[in-house]
Structures are given as structure tokens and as C-alpha cells.
A and B are shown apart, each in its own frame.
Chain A
Amino acid sequence: MSAVPKPLRCLALLAAVCTLLVLSGCRGVQSVLDPAADQAQAIDHVWWVMVSVCSVLYLAVLVALAWALLRARRRREALAEGTRHDPAWRQALVAWSILVVGLLTWFVVIAFLADQKLHAGHPDLEVRITAKQWWWQVEYLSDDPQQQFVTANELWLPRDRTARIELRSGDVIHSFWVPALTGKEDLIPGYTNALLVTPRRAGAYRGQCGEFCGLQHAHMALDVHVVDDAQFAAWQQRQRLPAPVPSTALAQHGQSVFMGSACLSCHAVRGTVAGSRLGPDLTHLASRRSLAAGALPMQREALDQWLRDPQHYKPGNLMPAVPLSERDRAALADYLMGLQ
């Protein structure tokens, strides 16, 4: 019987570790516990209610179990009791059931109300995200075609404005998930889904594909920036412009390498002849935070390595290694790094 308290000690330790973990700064660029938008905040509320109540209930069950074992240990004789013979136990069972049903009802109600909040609000802007193996195409929609533009693997949102994010898939099922903003929603071929997000805190966040989508599901991240209105307007203004013309000789050579090789059969650089939508739009590539849907940081060296062999960092991705001379590759990297 010496083993009785052991599991309890272990569990107490676990509970303590759990509490510590949860309390000790849950800061992270991709954390559910650090909400930065109304929607994530509403969910966070549900989380805290449920985790608190459930933890108390969990500990209560363990205490009851320990009590049962200790009580029974002191007994010499068992009582011949069944439900019929022991009204106290029977009443306790009824009370327990009522408690469980009551708590569950409460949970259902708060979950329902929070869910309503996720779907309420009028959008100030519309963004269409199309997920593809293994990157995100991001289109800023507008009634005026001149105002529309396309980017990839990054999402900028103005603070305190509600954005409607339309979700589509270009191939298999993916899931759009930026924990700091809201819960995930799938992008399913043949369906158009949508989310509303109202960011309240400026900052850089990270999202990642939430539904297994094949070989590079692990490297399908989305960089999210929440900025104030002025910054957002400036960013939009910049994004609408065609790609900057290369200034140095090396970069000009890089451009001709780009236009003369396999690059342009998949990628678009607005303002040039490259217009394919198969791969990510590269018009303002260098202004982004990362490369290849979050696989590498946006640095010249990383870009150079990526161009050398895209299959090394992201095996299975759809970009082939294009054989280029050292000089051509360096020129190409220069050109791409100039696409601010």
C-alpha cells in the first residue's frame, strides 16, 4: 500500500509544473496564449475558464480517489452496500451528475457566445489567401482593380481594423492558422471559407499551415505584421508599385539571368515580362521577412544557398534546382535582393 501516495506526489508535481509553464510568460510568435486580436482574445477567455474549472475538477477526482483508497485501507470489513442500500452514495452520484451537467452547460454557453464573436463584425478590408503546396498566395482585394496587388507568405494588417480573410486552396487541404489572431480555418479545394480578424496589438506574428498537406507541411509558415494605419497605407502603396529596376550592373545581369532561365516560368515580377502565377510573386521579395514560406531568413547568403539547391532546405518542394554558374547565381541573388 506504500505506493498509494506516490502517484499523488507525481501528479502534484505535474500540476505544479503545468501551472508554472502556463504562468511563466507564454510569449511566443506563434502562441495561443498571447492573443493580439479580438478573436484570439475571445478564445483565450474560454481557455482560461475551461482550464481553471477542469483543473479543479481533475484535482478533485484525484483527491477523491486518494481518499477512497485511504478510507478503504483503514477498513477491516467491507459493507455490503449497493446503490439501494446506501442512500448517501446514491445521493452523491446524483449530485455529481448534476454538477457535471451544470458545468458542461456553462461550457457550451460560453463556447457558443465566443464562437458568435468570431463571426461578428464588418470588414474594413478584404484579403484573399490561396494556399498551395507549400506556400501562401496573398491577394489584397479592392473594388478598384488598380488598388489590388498580390504578395506571398506575408500578411500585413492594420491595427484596430477588421479584415475579412477569404480562404481558398490551390491543391490539397491546408489550414490557415495565426494563433495570435484567431483559430484556424481550413482551405479546401472547391470551397471558399472566410475568417474575420481584428488585431489590437501591433507586432510581428507567425502563422503556420495547420492541416497536414504533404512533404513540406513543416515548412509552410506565414509572416504576419500588425501595424498602424499609416504604416499599413505606406506598405500597401509600396506593394502596388512594380518591381524596382536593378541599379547595379551585377543586378542587371541577374535580371537577365532571371528572364532567361526557368525562373520566369513559375514566378511573377511585376513590371517585367515574368508573369506566371504558379509560384510565389517575387515583385517585392526582399521586403519580406523570410524566404520560402518561413523556411529561411531573408538574407543574401540564405537566398544564395536556396538558389543553389532549393531541395536541400525544403526537400520535396516544387522548385527545381536550376543549374547556374557561380557568377550568374550571385547576380541573380543581387537582383532578387534588390526587389525591395
Chain B
Amino acid sequence: MNPDTPAQLAHTWSDRPGLIGWLTTVDHKRVARRYLVTAFVFFLLAGILALLMRTQLAWPELRLIGPDRYNQLFSLHGSAMMFLFAVPIMEAIAVYLVPLMVGARNISFPRLNAFSYWVYLFGGIMIFGAFLLDVGPETGWTGYVPLSGPEYSPGKRTDFWAQMITFTEVAGLCVAVELVATIMTMRAPGMTLARMPLFVWSMLITSLMVIFAMPAVMLASTFLITDRLVGTQFYNAAEGGDPLLWQHLFWFFGHPEVYIIFMPALGIISAIVETFSRRTIFGYTAMVLALVTTGFLAFGLWVHHMFATGLPPMGNSFYTAASMLIALPSGIQIFCWIATLATGRPRLQVPLLFVLGFFALFVLGGMTGVMLAAVPLNVQVHDTYFVVAHFHYVLIGGAVFPLLGGFYYWFPKITGRMLSERLGRWHFWLLFIGFNLTFFPMHYLGLIGMPRRVYTYQEGLGWGPYNLLATIGAYLMAISFVLMIANAWRALRRAPTAEADPWAAPDLAWAVASPPPAYNFAWTPVVESRHPLWADANGEPRQTLPVLTGVREDRREVLLSSPVDAHPTSRWAMPDPTIWPLWAALSLSVLFVWSIFDQWGVVWGAIPVAITLTAWFWPKPSEPSLGEP
């Protein structure tokens, strides 16, 4: 092995200096970092919206926020949390980690990756800008027609919302395609499908789900936009359209969507449980099958969001059965994690603490989910605070807690700095208590009749005390996030000291320095087991990692391998940094926003898009030297 390799690679894979380098980078880590930061900012903004709502609801008949503003608050809170935070941040983690975990030097289609970030950023800025200008969404994150149609939502509010979905669809689909391609073609030699880390498995299935689910909402939102903009009548019952069509299309996407958020979290949990138990995951095969099963079932249960619409009872029962069945793969995974902890040597550090929090919260949310799958119970508590409690238990408990565990776990890898365990524990306990204080009483609020999406409620219904409790809890949660930011801030002000593998973890991401160099791996690692950095299944660290040479260092070359067995097949030259994805995203954003105001925006706006895409895809003379490694 040539000792000059790292220096040569650093030169080859470096970005241009300064602002230009920042704007043109196609490094998956740089793009993922800004994705993570942006998604977290949207999370904080959407969280502030939630605090405002909780303040308004603290007391019966408070008049702090009127119905018009309140409707915008909860609509943007839901939309931003789902479209601008939850899905993007999970994809961002994957964009950062998947190439490292599979031993690749970059993500496949790195320019598409840069493009997806810019599209996402512009979409997010657009919707929050619209909100500040009082044209924020007003019909809930589900945007049911005809309330969101041209007659009952005049003005541009719903158009901005529908167009925000278009932005996030484009960005989300781009990332999904990159991830599938990376996982299927760029795994290190020897990393067969059966040796893939469970996080990579979860992202593979998530990405496939994105690819299958997003077209449904694309259709739904496009129909809505054309109903509003050019007078089509897809959803207008009076003209032969159908308001229920929206709900079918939306939930055919919307239900898989929650699994798109939840599935990566399962991968994060498996990674943390494995590392901190210091043994391999119990029941790897069962875990993979559970993920795949969840991915399939997720597409067969959207109707449980529509039990109150008067569909035929027999059909509803089918969806009851399908919805309940999803508890089986979840139950199997819970079992396997507990078995792993029971037979390992767990270290109770902050990442694992958040995973334990996940157990306490998600399992409860799962139980209420099973209850909601039963038609008779569903029609009682559907669209009440019971449901609000349920989905916050599964989304915050099931996705945000693992995500925060992942934050403490991977922060050293991404920044090269360790976070304070003490502050981390404070963060955890404040959040855990605040969360339960906020959302547990909501179960009861729903049962005693409080519908969701109400800007106020009357005295005498007995809802006041529980709402006050929930509001107090919400502020506790807010404080816990202040601690988290302080923790990160403190760490970032110090010099990087984290080792490559501070947790003694088993996967390849920890084989590279923290933070990783631009080229990730100086030499392509060779994988011989499910835990390449461990000598055995008991988490004993391994001293050396076998590597492969023969990939060129003087150009951005990566090794491609076969989809199942990960046999090296060919070398592939990665594209260089370029500004064109940024221009393409900018011109596409102009088209999207223009089309809100004028249908001709689609026509004229397409011209700059075509120009930028042409420049982006302009072929370069390639060297004929690519051959077998």
C-alpha cells in the first residue's frame, strides 16, 4: 500500500476553496451536513409553532390567537414536521452514513444529491416565507378537499402549500434514487446483502417506499393545483369529481409516509442497540424480514384513515386486519432488541438512553395504534386528541427519540467532537417527562370529546386542566432542546478530539477518521462478516481491516459491485463539483413559484430549467482507461 495515497486522494476529492467550493460541492458529507442543519432548523421553527398553539390552548376560550392564524399554525406545523423535517432528516442521515457504512467514497449521483438539497431548501424557505406573509397553509397538513379547493380556500395559501409538496417530492425522490443505487451497486467487496448493517437495510426499504408512495401524493397535489389554477374538477362533486379521491390518493401516500419516517429510526435503533450491547443483533434475519414486511404492509392500510367516510363495512374490516398485522413485525423487532440487550453487556450511555425512551413511548403509541385499527373504536376517537396523542407517541417516541439517540451517537463521527453525557442525560429526562406531560393527557382529552384542530374550546367541558398540563409539558420539551443546542454549541467550540471509533462500534462508518476525510476510505475495505470492525460477535474490536487496492487515486473513482454478493464489477468515475445543480434547482424553484400565480409560468419557466439541465448533463470527453480493477 502506498503511504502517499491519502494525500493524493485528499487532493483529488477536494472541493474548490471558499464560497465557490461551498456552492459547488458534491461531497455527500457536506451536502448531508447542511441537510441535517436545515432540517433541524425547520424542526425548531415548526416546534415554535406548536408552542404557540399550546399557549393558545392552555385555557378555555383564550383569545391570544384567532382562528385564522391558528389554522395556519397547525397546518404549517404538521406540513413542516412531515415534509420539511421528518423525511428529509432521515434521508440526510442516510446520505451521510450509507456511503460510509457500505465502504464507498461518495454517494451515487452526487450532483443529483446536491440538487435535491437546493430544491428542498428553496421549498422550505418558500413555505415559511409565505407563512410570514400571511399566506401560509390553512387546511391542515392533510389538505382535505373541498376545504382546500378553490371555493373554500380562496387566495394563494393552499397553492403555496401544494407547491411545497411538489418541492419536497422532487427532493425526496432524488435522494431515494441515490440511496437505492448506492446500496445496490456500491457496497464494499464482500458486503453481501446478508452482511449489510440493519440501518442500510432500513434505508433501502425506506427509499423504495418513497419511490412507490410519492407518486400518489404527486398526483393528488397536482390535481388540486389544476383544480385551483386552471379549473379542472377532479375533486368537485358538483361537476362529477370526487372529494374522496383526494383522501384515497393522499393516504395511499400518507400512511407509507409515516413508515418512511419510522423505518430509518428502526435502523438507528438497531445500530445503537448493537453497539451499546456489545454483541451482534439477535435475529438479524427476522429483523430484515420484519422491515420488508412492514414496507409491504404499509401500502395496504391507508383506509384506516377513512373509516368515518362511510365506506362499506366489509372493506373496512380488511383494512382493520391489515393495520393490526403491522404490529407483528414491530413486535418481532421489539423482541429482538430486548433479546440483544438481555444477552449483551449494555452500556447505558446517552444514545442507548434515548433508545430505551423509544421503547417506553413507541410501544405505547403502537398499542393505541392497534386500538385505532379497530373500526368501532376508530370512529369514536378519529380526529380527536386521542389520535393526536397516538401519532405523537409513534412519531416523537418512535422516530424523534431514536433520531436524537442517533444525534448523540453520530455527532462525534460527523464533527469529530464528543458531546457532554451529563447535558445529554438532562436533555433526555426533560424531554421524556415533558413529552409525557404533553401528550399523555391528550389520550384522555380525546376520550372526553376534544376534537383536534380546534383553536379553542369552551368552559364546562372539563378539558381545561389536561390542556394546561399539556402546555406545561410543551415548554419543558422546548427547554430540553435548548439544552441540546447548548451541548452541541459547547462541543463545537472545542478542538476536534474524537477518535475514529469512540463507541467501539461494528460498522464501516467507524473505520474512517472523525470527521471523515473527503474521500472517506483511503483503501476500499473488504468485508468478511456482519460486523467488520469486530473480531467476533461479542464486540471485541478488531485490529486491522483487510483492504483492496487498485482504484485510481488521481481521479474521483469508485468501485462498483454486484447487487447481491457485492463482487467487485467495475470502476466508475464520479462527477466533479459543479455549480449547475444549484442553478437547476433555482430555475426549477422559479418555475414552481411562478406557476402558483400564472399557468404560463410552467411554460416560460421551463426554458431556464431546460438550459440549466442541458448544461448540467453536457457530456465531457471521458478517458478510455476504465477497465476491470
Contacts and interface: CB of A to CB of B under 8 A. Distances in A.
Nearest to A29: B461
A33 B342 contact: no
A198 B147 CA distance: 32
Contacts of A177: 451
B371 A65 contact: no
A294 B383 CA distance: 19
Interface string A184-225: 111011110110000000000010111111111110000000
B316 interface: yes
Contact of A72 (B325, B336, B345, B453): B345
A73 B347 CA distance: 9
Range of interface residues on A (Cβ < 8 Å): 35 or more
Interface in A66-93: 67-69, 71-73, 75-83, 86, 89-90, 92-93
B425 A3 contact: yes
Given A114-B376, A191-B310, A212-B452, A62 B152 contact: no
A14 B437 CA distance: 9
A163 to B, nearest CB: 17
Interface in B436-471: 436, 440, 443-444, 446-449, 451-458, 461-462
Contacts of A6: 429
B282 A89 contact: yes
B207 interface: no
Contacts of A119: 313
A210 B321 contact: no
Interface stretch (A41-49, A258-266, A323-331): A41-49
B278 interface: yes
B310 A186 contact: yes
A291 interface: no
B309 interface: yes
Contact of A93 (B244, B335, B456, B538): B335
Given A83-B283, A115-B376, A68 B342 contact: yes
A28 B449 contact: yes
A193 B283 CA distance: 48
A78 B66 CA distance: 59
Interface string B273-290: 000011110111110000
Given A10-B433, A104-B327, A183-B380, A217 B317 contact: no
Nearest to B344: A78
B316 A115 contact: yes
Interface string B325-356: 10110011011101101111110100001001
A65 B383 contact: no
Contacts of A4: 348
B454 A218 contact: yes
Interface in B475-520: none
B609 to A, nearest CB: 36
Given A7-B360, A58-B363, A62-B359, A30 B448 contact: yes
| Chain B at the A interface: SS class | helix
Nearest to A60: B363
Interface residues of B, number: 99
B8 to A, nearest CB: 41
Interface stretch (B235-243, B589-597, B616-624): B235-243
Contacts of B448: 26, 28, 30-33
A69 B242 contact: no
Contact of A28 (B244, B452, B461): B461
Nearest to A73: B346
A230 interface: no
Given A62-B359, A191-B244, A218-B455, A81 B343 contact: yes
B193 interface: no
Contact of A108 (B277, B317, B364): B317
Contacts of A309: none
A57 B66 CA distance: 42
A85 B371 CA distance: 37
Contact of A212 (B140, B317, B458): B140
Interface in B165-219: none
21 contacts: A4-B348, A11-B360, A21-B444, A32-B381, A43-B380, A62-B360, A77-B538, A83-B285, A93-B339, A112-B375, A173-B147, A183-B378, A185-B310, A188-B237, A190-B242, A191-B309, A191-B310, A216-B67, A217-B454, A218-B454, A316-B68
Interface of B: 66-68, 71, 139-140, 144, 146-147, 152, 237-238, 242-244, 277-280, 282-286, 308-310, 313, 316-317, 320-321, 324-325, 327-328, 331-332, 334-336, 338-339, 341-346, 348, 353, 356-357, 359-360, 363-364, 367-368, 370-371, 373-384, 425, 429, 432-433, 436, 440, 443-444, 446-449, 451-458, 461-462, 536-539
9 interchain residue pairs of minimum CB distance: A190-B237, A183-B379, A30-B449, A68-B342, A111-B374, A218-B454, A193-B310, A54-B367, A212-B453
